[in-house]
Chain A
Amino acid sequence: MQILLALLIGAGFGAMLDRIGATNPSVLTGMLTLRRLNLAKTIMMAIGTGSILMFGGQMLGLVDVAHMSVKSAYVGVLIGGLMLGVGWAISGFCPGTGVCAAATGRKDAVFFISGGLLGAAAYMVTYPAWKASGLLEDILGGKVTLGDVPGSKFDGLFAVPGDILGILIGVIFILVAYVLPHSLSGLDKGAEVPAE
């Protein structure tokens, strides 16, 4: 059953990443240079939709709160995030979209994945040094959500109902998706990448 769900949801996720343009490095780069923000609008819409459905479903008792999985906050999240940002920006791929792009026939994505496997292996080898550095120690309470989500094992940073706050933030994501312009950068608009 789990494997069947992995096949269905995974295929759905991969197909959607392709349909929103995220398997194309030109689309990802267009977002990161702030020239074409369509993808940013799409992703904010998706996060907002997901939040409202998940927290709404929890309040109605339809979604198991135990399915939530919140990751720890630590200084390494910031350092790793900066690194991922650089790797993403220079290549136009992130881990998920790189894997999907390779499946759509992009040869450069195969190089991205190869580099990624080596990078992950390098982290595996250097992990003890990071562990010893203390930069993997929890900050801000570790596995924490913005508000207190009823029934979840995670604490809230603020003592407010986390499900209601989650729906509100979901609405804000969707509103920002609406008001975000299609481009924030006038740089070289003439050289628009043609639709593929």
Chain B
Amino acid sequence: MALDWKIGGVLLGLVFFAAVLLVKPIGVSTQFVILDGIVADVASPDFITQTEDGFTSTNAYMAKSDGKYAKSAANPLNYSFVFVLAMMIGAAASSYLRGGFAAASRLPDVWVANYGNTPLKRYMVAFVGGFIALYGARLAGGCTSGHMMSGMMQTSISGYLFTAATFAAAVPTAMIMYKRG
């Protein structure tokens, strides 16, 4: 059972605050690029190379902004990448403590209510959804965490633009696809 919105909201707000107080605002989607970079560099060691004053890559996106993504992929033990790994630890611990693993082993109720017990179809939709969401997040330069939560917390114009566009697409799409549940 989810926390009451007031308690959950204040606690989540304290996490946002702790992040910006101690280090920097929260963000997630860049780390998909970093993991891609790590994998690509293992597969083809010339993908990321060290230069005199940092790192660069044969990929223009990895190499942009003086190779900051190339640098992160070359040194995965950096703040932002470890942050996302730690999110997984935190979520797993929380789910364990509330006994959530049994429910998570089933398909989402809203999926079953609309499409029945069709795991293969669900996995395909989740895969396609992930592809579109992360392509979009990288084009936008951030996702629900970096643009929506951290962005609007800082009164960033890009955060408001992103949030408006996201909901303009997400609400009708969800209403069409999930008529029940």
- Complex Cα distance A62/B20, Å? 11
A17 / chain B contacts, CB cutoff of 8 Å: 12, 87, 91
Residues A114 and B137 in contact in the complex (CB < 8 Å), given A9-B19, A43-B9, A193-B181: no
* Residue of A with least CB distance to B145: A96
- Report how many A-B pairs have Cβ atoms within 8 Å: 534
* Residue of A with least CB distance to B151: A71
- Complex Cα distance A44/B167, Å? 14
Would you give the shortest CB distance from A14 to chain B, in whole angstroms?
A: 3
Chain A residues within 8 Å of chain B by Cβ, number: 132
Question: Is the beta-carbon distance between A15 and B134 smaller than 8 angstroms?
Answer: no
B90 / chain A contacts, CB cutoff of 8 Å: 10-16, 18, 100
Would you give the shortest CB distance from A173 to chain B, in whole angstroms?
A: 8
Question: Is the beta-carbon distance between B130 and A115 smaller than 8 angstroms?
Answer: yes
A124 / chain B contacts, CB cutoff of 8 Å: 33, 36, 59, 61-62, 138
Interface class of chain B by DSSP: helix
Interface class of chain A by DSSP: helix
- Complex Cα distance A33/B99, Å? 27
Interface residues of chain B, those whose CB is within 8 Å of chain A, are: 1-3, 5-6, 8-26, 28-29, 32-33, 35-36, 39-40, 59-62, 64, 77-80, 82-95, 98, 100-101, 103-105, 107-111, 113, 119, 122-147, 149-159, 161-171, 173-175, 177-181
Pick 5 A–B contacts, CB within 8 A, sort by A: A10-B87, A13-B26, A30-B181, A33-B171, A71-B142
- A-B CB proximity, top 9 nearest: A45-B9, A49-B13, A91-B129, A83-B136, A80-B140, A87-B133, A10-B86, A115-B130, A81-B165
